[in-house]
Structure 1
Amino acid sequence: MAARAGLTPESLTLSAAQLADEVGFEQVTVSEVARRVGVKPASLYSHLRGSDDLRGRVSVLALTELGDRLSIALAGRSGRDALDALVAVMRSYAQDHPGRWHATQVRITTPAAGPAGAKVSALMVGIMVGYGLPAQEQTHAVRLVGSTVNGFIRLQANGSFDHSDPNPETSWARMTQALDTALRNWPASAPDDATTAHA
């Protein structure tokens, strides 16, 4: 296989992202990307520090793409309208790019992830502000929405809904309605000491 000229960290990251979508984020390694672009793995170490660095770059790319999609979809929206747009974008991105979606769900240590992740978080917090949630409750609400949506996406991708009724689309609509109800009726702040719940 002939080597390809003009390799850059950006082009290698895109190749890795495409690989993640095809075979899974956890399968992304320098060796696999080198095979894809037609060079020996050693040739990539002038651009990358290793497989962890490569996967971190894919995570940053994915968060950036997701943030850009959300910015467009959420412009001028608030309340239920914004929530509907948020979950629709998250789901469509996961369906279009399953490996990259996985990459947005892992812990990232690369400094470049800060701004990309912060943009997505800020957009989600903005929705919670629109529901009138106080600052100390917004992170809880963001976690509720994110974990609910991601859980549904993962279960459906794994075929968990294939052999039961009703249609997953009906459940998705009901899930979004339930999230809206939860956000509009958010409980009063609880004590920070969670140990009381296990007493």
Structure 2
Amino acid sequence: MVRAGLNRALVCAAALDLADEQGIKQLTMTALARRLGVAIPSLYEHVKNMEDLLDGAAGRATDEIAGKLDEALRGRTRLAALEAYAGALRAWATAHPGRYQATKRPLGDPAGAAAQARVVAGCATLLRGYDLEGERGVDAVRFVHSTVHGFIDIETDGGFRAARDLDRSWAGVLAAVDRALSSWPAT
């Protein structure tokens, strides 16, 4: 028997809440069923399997961060846009570590893939302020993505152990990224 009011969106939202609390790798159908107060088979009325649950949750999380990144870019260019975009991503990732981990998943479903495309498009919009488009823009998106996500990944994994304040390091990283983007090679 399916619990009244339970649907795919609620199941995925509960999965993300659980992932934020315990980590995406600890997310199981058993834990989710317990969270929702249903029997495990009831979940299969809304998701096909664990892979489908992770896809749905990841699409939902990616859509959530895409909206925040769109908002962060509004009315900003160059360093201000970079700081707002990267800062919004960092704040969201540290507040929602399970959701953040979910967004790294390649998404095949149309809604999730569209959300991922919005994230990339936001970064491309940011780079237009540096006159980086076309192939140079693709390279610059990869540079920004790997630098910002690399820092956030290490931070959320607790890998930074030096006494230096993380926010100061973050500001230095973004200043370096701004310099790199401002002098991007012509090739």
**TM-score, normalised via structure 1 length:** 0.88
- For each residue in 1:153-190, what CA deviation from the matched residue of structure 2 results, as whole angstroms up to 9, or x when unmatched? 1212233223x24222111110000000110111122x
- Please state whether the residue corresponding to 2:107 is helix, strand or coil: coil
Tell me whether 1:185 sits opposite 2:148 in the alignment. Answer: no
- Please state whether the residue corresponding to 2:89 is helix, strand or coil: helix
CA distance in 2, matches of 1:54, 1:29: 10
**TM-score, normalised via structure 2 length:** 0.93
**How do 1:1-199 residues align onto structure 2 when only pairs under 5 Å count?**
4-162=3-161, 164-189=162-187
- For each residue in 1:99-131, what CA deviation from the matched residue of structure 2 results, as whole angstroms up to 9, or x when unmatched? 101111122222221211111111110011111
CA distance in 2, matches of 1:26, 1:102: 9
CA distance in 1, matches of 2:125, 2:163: 35
- Fraction of identical pairs, as percent: 39
C-alpha contact (below 8 Å) 2:124/2:133 kept by paired residues = no
Higher relative contact order (CA 8 A, sep 6+): 2
CA distance in 2, matches of 1:98, 1:157: 7
Instruction: Quote the RMSD (CA, aligned, Å).
Output: 1.5
- For each residue in 1:20-79, what CA deviation from the matched residue of structure 2 results, as whole angstroms up to 9, or x when unmatched? 101111222323211211111111111111111111111111111111111211111111
AA aligned to 1:177 is A
CA distance in 2, matches of 1:109, 1:32: 25
Please say which of residues 36-45 and 13-22 is displaced more in the overlay. Answer: 36-45
C-alpha contact (below 8 Å) 2:3/2:42 kept by paired residues = no
- Please state whether the residue corresponding to 2:160 is helix, strand or coil: coil
C-alpha contact (below 8 Å) 1:30/1:41 kept by paired residues = yes
Q: Following superposition, which runs of at least 4 residues in structure 1 exceed 6 angstroms of deviation?
A: none
Consecutive unaligned residues of structure 2, counting only runs of 5 or more, are none
- Please state whether the residue corresponding to 2:120 is helix, strand or coil: helix
C-alpha contact (below 8 Å) 1:28/1:51 kept by paired residues = no
After TM superposition, give the deviation of residue 139 of structure 1 in Å.
1.7
| Residue of structure 2 in register with 1:193 after alignment | none
- Please state whether the residue corresponding to 2:159 is helix, strand or coil: coil
Consecutive unaligned residues of structure 1, counting only runs of 5 or more, are 190-199
Larger Rg: 1
